[in-house]
Amino acid sequence: MGSSTNSKGMGFVSLVCLMSEEAAKESLIYVYKNAAMGFSAKLTPDQVSEIQKQPGVLQVVVSQQLQMHKPVM
């Protein structure tokens, strides 16, 4: 599993480059470490544009809620 918003990782460092440390702490939701390294955060369109330009950023994806299919019995 990932870690709580209190943990600092590469995502947190990336956010601090765009905004103050306090604003980064407020916007950071979750840091993912195991399946893929990344993070989720609430960002403005301008912040998304800036983070997409950062070296090493492969993809920025908008969150979406998906519904699981019920198993067929």
Give 60's DSSP letter.
-
For residue 57, what are its two tokens? Answer: 């950023």
Each residue's pLDDT tens digit, 12-71: 667 777 778 888 788 877 776 666 677 888 889 999 999 899 888 888 888 877 777 776
Distance of alpha carbon 55 from alpha carbon 72, whole angstroms? 45
Helix (H, G, I), strand (E, B) or coil at 6: coil
- In terms of Cα–Cα distance, which of 69, 73, 13 is closest to 41? 13
- The better pLDDT of the pair 20, 3 is held by 20
Element (H, E) at 12: helix 10-18
